[in-house]
Every structure is written in structure tokens, then in C-alpha cells.
Structure 1
Amino acid sequence: MATVHQWTGLEARALRKALRKSIRGFAEHLGVAVNTVAKWEKLLVDTVPQADSQAILDTVLARADPAVQERFALLLGDHGAPARLHKRTVPAVGEYETWAEDLERTVVCLSRQDFGFACTLLDRWLRRVPPRELDERGQYLYARTSTLFGDMRRLQGTVCDLITATSLYADAHSLFVDLGIPRRAAQIELSLAVVEEMSGQLASAVSRYRSLAEDDRLSKRDRVRARLWIGTALTKQGEADSAIVLMQSAAREFYDLTEPEDWAVAQQKLALAHRGAGDLTHALRFIETARSAGRPNSPLEHVQLDTAHAHILLSDAATAGEGQKTLDRAAATAGRHGLGHQLRSIMTIRESQEYA
């Protein structure tokens, strides 16, 4: 088993050939632009892919079949570059505690949108050894690592990030199923539904949310979240009235479960649903409730709340100026923290205002 210390265009081309893919097929497999792969192939050792592409290439190589890995090593050997490879070792049992501690630190990093440090913590384990060479505890830690890596890419939210998140979640889901941990598997299915919604696959997301809202593998809190997210997708589909009914029910259940943060999120989503229904009075009332429910704990929460508030304010000419300032503030925060999906949402709102 081999890995690459630093990818250049030479190693990227070797991996493409080992996978027996065209330049276009390889780009689609990685989730990057065709021009990016073409540049790697043209410049070879004179170009070094960016950090996110390095991580994607690491992941693709680590998950490749043994035959692909052997072809990859031989192709590099043919070009006189075997020194770039080193053997990977299975973590010792004593290292599992360190691994678990790194995952706990990663959760904190992701809650703060500190993606750089989170990537460093996860990457050291994800590239260490393929899961089939680990015992059950190691496979569990590997699955949790893949899940958190998927969470990170989903939070970053570019189109490439969402493609990579789907792949990472799928691998983790397979491991959790094999390990017989249905709750973890169901949680990943819920995350996959969120990715579908973020990718614009609203009908598919609604169907998946509906199924999971009744799935006993999930906790009551997660089932209520699924019900709330049905409403979110329905709002995006223009079915605001149906969404409001579902969201009100979910908000009541969050209140009964004593989940104040989820309850506040429900108020925010209800505000947007009322905006979608053309009821700005109720939209403003619900967004003010969400804003007064407590201070946001992370940059993402700040951006989401500001974006929702701005969207409502921009719907009324009398408050459009304030809405634009609020949207600009959300865009600046999203840009600083690499929140690609939120930036796309902000751009969509701006474009809708231009054509209004």
C-alpha cells in the first residue's frame, strides 16, 4: 500500500491512467474542472494541485482497488518517481486513543468553521491505511473520520465539496452497516438528504426526509429535524403553506424536547416560509423571535440568520436598504470562513433582487 507525499501533475496523470479514465472522466470522478486536469497533464512535475485537490487525490488513491494501486505504482516507477511513495502502517491499538481525541477536536473545529485545522486532524488518519486492514474499532474510527470529513466538505458547500461529501458519506455508511451500527448509518442517510437539498435535488431530498422522519433508527430529535427539513425543501419548491404546517409542528416538538437551539432554527425557517407565502408581517415576527432566542454560536449561524433576515427585509422596498447592508455583512462573514454554499445563496438573493 502506497501513498503520495505531495501530488504533482505527474502523479495525478499516473492515477488517471491507473484508473483507465479519460481526462474528462477523471475530472468528473474527482469533482474538479476538466481544465484543471488538463493543466496537470500539461505541466506534470511543474505544477502542484491545491490543498483541496491534494486531499481529493489522496482519498481516490486510498480507496482504489489493489489492481489500480499496483498500476499506479508501476506507472510512477516507469517515470523514475518511486521515491515519492512510502509504505503506510496500521495504527497500533494505543494510537486509537489519540485518533479518538483528534475526532473530538475536529468536532470543535467544525463547530467554529475552522476548516484548515479540521482538515489537518482528519487527513492524518484518513490517509494512514485503508479500512479493510483495520480491526472493528479501527474501522469505526475510520468511518467517523470519513463522516466528519464529509461534514466539513458539506459545510464548505461548493459544488466540488458536495460531490466529495457524498463519496465520503457513502464510504462511512457502508462501514457502519457492516459494523452493525444502524443509528450511525441512519444519521449519514440524513446527511446525504441534506446534500441532495443543497445540490438542488429537492424532490429526492423530500422523499428521503419523509422516510427518515419515521425511521426508528434515529433519535426523536433527528426525526423531528428531518420533518423540519421537509418544510425547508418544500419552501424552496414554492409550497410554502404546506411547509409552514410541518415547521410549526416540528417547532412545538423541539420545545417539548427542550431543544432551544433547534427551536430557534425552526423560527428562522418559519420566517422564510412565511416570506415565501407573501406574509411579510409574520415573516418579520418569526425572524425577530429567532434573532432574540440567543446569540449565534458560530460564523455559519451568524451567516444563516443574517441571510434569512436580509431576504425578508429585501422583500419590502421600505426596508430594502437595511436588507442590503445585512446581506453584505453575511457575505463578508461567509467569505472569511469559506462557506461556499452560503455565498451561493447570497448570490441567488442578489440576482433575484436585480431582476425584481
Structure 2
Amino acid sequence: MTTVHHWTGLEAKALRLALRLSVRAFAQQLGLAVATVSKWESKLAGTEPRPDTQAILDTALGRADAAAHLRFETLMSEMTSATTTARRRVTTSSPRAWEYESWADDLDRVVVALSRQNFTFADSLLTRWLTRFKAPELDEKGQYLFARSTALLGDLKRYQGTLFGLLSAQHFYTGARAVFTQLDIPRRVAQLDLSLAIVMEMSGKLEIAARHYETLAADDRLSRLDRARARLWVGTALSKDGQYDYATRLMQAAIGDFEDLTEPDDWSVAHQKLALARRGAGDLTTAFRFLDIAWTTGTPESPMQRVQLTTAQAHILCTDPVTRDDGLRLLDEAAQIAARSDLGHQLRSINAIRQTCEGAFKHLHQSPGSSE
């Protein structure tokens, strides 16, 4: 999520344009005089809203949807670049302004496609632009869009989760990070550090990933929401490494942040991960309670959300021999959804859970004290 540490008239104008509001409508939404907004737009970086108005702008930005956030970032990149024309590198091969607008619109569509796991469509949109231009040929706005496209391609490969896909995700994230570093956009750099830590965790490098998450959870370059997610992922990595009680405490702290930030989907995901941590600790009653919260408070509309919740429920059921068959049935259901949606990492997790469950069942019935 986009964060502004200090508002000036420049950022305020970019927010108005990103929300696609007139000066009057923007002033009305903020509860301010039209003359105040007009002053911001005439003086731009030369004027600063009052502290109480800074908070109002924070709220307006926080309530904006993902598409508006992307437009805001693009506008900020363009407007900031315009104040430093001498540093801009413009070549004859740079795309025209309308192409930049089309590119930004396509990135809006990519974000939606990825949220629905429509990977083929997202890949076609990203490839359209990444094959058309080379980053060194672009001005700063073009480089920003190129880096955003590269980072989203990394997200696509990570969501697919195949072993080759994880290597590709790491490659794309590293490339995007280099461009954002050159453009001096520290928040984007930190977000990519977070994405790279997730790839480490998915690759099984749990201890290294946990250390990176811990560092990022206190990184002021990130928004409070991203820092809370980093704290949750510290707990996730530790839970996978068998440190269930410590992981539980960290996850509960993250849940408190998500509640304060009014982020129901993150709150739901955190309860799902917390349920798995309690399963690992052998506390099945609490695990089921947390999972019920995850099911009833989240919005499991996307295939990935349904697979994750169903897999978590199956994992808990498989822990108890009495409910093992129900767990295996749910694993089959989750595997079918994951296969249809090309979720390779989820399929590997499901197969690993199945092998563990079936192995424990065989061990139980082959032990000397078994009834067989």
C-alpha cells in the first residue's frame, strides 16, 4: 500500500488526479474549502497542509482502492521527475504519453487478474510491455512502469510456485529492485526485499527468511500494514520450523495490527496461519477455533484463498486418526482447485501433507500395540 510520510501540495494534487475527482469534489470529500485545494495545486511542493489536514489526506489515501494507489504512484513518479528535468534521460525511442497511460491501465488490470489467479491473462499484459521496451531506453516514468511490470511478473511466478517459477520470481524481483534503487524509491525497494524473503521461505530457507522478516517488520520504509505482514510471516517461518509457541505470539501481535488497521482479509489469513501453528503444537481445539474465525471473517473468493483455507482444515483433520479420512477428502478437493488454477506451490504443500498423513497412519497400524 502506498504511504506518504509528509504531504505537500504536490502529493495532494497527485491524489486528487488518482481518485479522478475535480477540485471541488476533492475538497468536498476531504471536508475542506475549495480555496484550500486550489492553493495546494498552484503552489505544489511549495506549500504544506496543516497537521490535522495531513491526517485527513492519510485517511483518503488509505481508503483508495488498488487501482487508485497505482495511479497515484505513477503520477508521483511523473510529477517528481518533472521537477528534475535536468536529470531525466529522454531518448527518441521513449513511448508517447498515451502509451504510458495505456501501460498504467494495463497494470491495473494485471493486479486484478493476479488477485483472481488469472495467470495467462496477466502474463500476456505484462509481456506486451516488457518486450516492447528496454529499461535503459526509457525516461524515469517509463523506468518506473517497467520496474512495476517486472515486479508484478515476479508475483505471477511466485503465485504459480513451481520450483522454476520461484527462481524466476527471484530474478524478476532482483531486476525490479535495481531499477527502483536507481530511481531512489526506497519504499518500493523495501517491498521487493519483502517479496524476496517470501521466495526464500517458499524455497525452504526458513531461518534466513525469518531473519529478513524480522528486519523488515521494523523498517520505516514500509507502511504499517506491510510491517504487520512481515511480522506475521516471521511467525509463519518459525511455525514451519517447529517453534510454535513463539510463532503464536508473533502472529497474535500481527493480528492486533490488522484489527487496528481494519484489514479483514489480512486478519483472516493471520488466523488461518495461527490455526496451523496451534495444530503443530498439538492444540487441535484452539486450531479449529482459529480456523473457524478465518473461514467466517475472510472473503475466500479467489482460488488461492479457497485452497489455503481448505488445505489448512484438512491438515488439522489429518492430525487426528478419527478425522483422518475427512482430512484426506478435503486434500483431494484442495488439490483439484490448485491444479485447475495452476498453483504449483500449493500442490506441493498438499502432496507433502498427504505423505505425512499417510505415513503417520501406516506407522500407527504397524506399531506393536496396534490392533492389526
The TM-score with structure 1 as length reference comes to 0.74
Structure 1: how far apart are the matches of 2:260 and 2:126?
36
Is the 1:193–1:205 Cα contact (8 Å) retained in structure 2?
A: yes
Question: Which of 253, 266, 273 is the matching residue for 1:249?
Answer: 253
Q: SS where residue 350 of structure 2 aligns?
A: helix
Structure 1: how far apart are the matches of 2:301 and 2:318?
25
Deviations 1:96-140 (A, max 9, x none): 000001100000100100000111000011111210110000000
Deviations 1:166-212 (A, max 9, x none): 01000100111110111111111101000000000111101110000
Aligned equivalent of 2:282: 278
Counterpart code for 1:233: A
Structure 2: how far apart are the matches of 1:304 and 1:143?
29
Aligned equivalent of 1:326: 330
Counterpart code for 2:217: A
Aligned equivalent of 2:344: 340
Is the 1:89–1:128 Cα contact (8 Å) retained in structure 2?
A: no
Structure 2: how far apart are the matches of 1:148 and 1:297?
21
Q: SS where residue 94 of structure 1 aligns?
A: helix
Question: Which of 268, 272, 275 is the matching residue for 2:272?
Answer: 268
Structure 2: how far apart are the matches of 1:170 and 1:294?
32
Q: SS where residue 258 of structure 1 aligns?
A: coil
Displacement of 1:90: 4.2
Aligned equivalent of 1:304: 308
Structure 1: how far apart are the matches of 2:94 and 2:253?
48
Is the 1:231–1:244 Cα contact (8 Å) retained in structure 2?
A: yes
Deviations 1:231-290 (A, max 9, x none): 000011010011001011111111111111111111101100000111111111111111
Question: Which of 123, 129, 133 is the matching residue for 2:127?
Answer: 123
Q: SS where residue 322 of structure 1 aligns?
A: helix
Deviations 1:57-102 (A, max 9, x none): xxxxxxxxxxxxxxxxxxxxxxxxxxxxxxx964323200000011
Question: Which of 159, 162, 186 is the matching residue for 2:163?
Answer: 159
Is the 2:93–2:137 Cα contact (8 Å) retained in structure 1?
A: no
Question: Which of 211, 214, 219 is the matching residue for 1:215?
Answer: 219
Q: Which runs of 5+ in 1 are unaligned?
A: 1-87
Further displaced range: 89-98 or 320-329 = 89-98
Structure 1: how far apart are the matches of 2:145 and 2:177?
13
The TM-score with structure 2 as length reference comes to 0.71
Aligned equivalent of 1:288: 292
Structure 1: how far apart are the matches of 2:93 and 2:160?
30
Structure 1: how far apart are the matches of 2:93 and 2:316?
54
Aligned equivalent of 1:112: 116
Q: SS where residue 309 of structure 1 aligns?
A: helix
CA RMSD of aligned residues (A): 1.1
In the alignment of these two chains, the number of paired residues is: 269
Structure 1: how far apart are the matches of 2:339 and 2:94?
38
Bigger Rg, structure 1 or 2: 2
Aligned ranges for residues 130-279 of structure 1 at < 5 Å?
130-279=134-283
Is the 2:271–2:290 Cα contact (8 Å) retained in structure 1?
A: yes
Counterpart code for 2:353: I
Counterpart code for 1:196: M
Deviations 1:200-234 (A, max 9, x none): 01111011100000000000000010000000000
Structure 1: how far apart are the matches of 2:221 and 2:95?
31
Structure 1: how far apart are the matches of 2:140 and 2:124?
24
Is the 2:194–2:230 Cα contact (8 Å) retained in structure 1?
A: yes
Counterpart code for 1:175: V
Deviations 1:8-57 (A, max 9, x none): xxxxxxxxxxxxxxxxxxxxxxxxxxxxxxxxxxxxxxxxxxxxxxxxxx
Q: SS where residue 103 of structure 2 aligns?
A: helix
Structure 2: how far apart are the matches of 1:295 and 1:146?
28
Structure 1: how far apart are the matches of 2:334 and 2:173?
29
Structure 2: how far apart are the matches of 1:354 and 1:268?
23
Is 1:315 matched with 2:322?
no
Is the 1:90–1:128 Cα contact (8 Å) retained in structure 2?
A: no
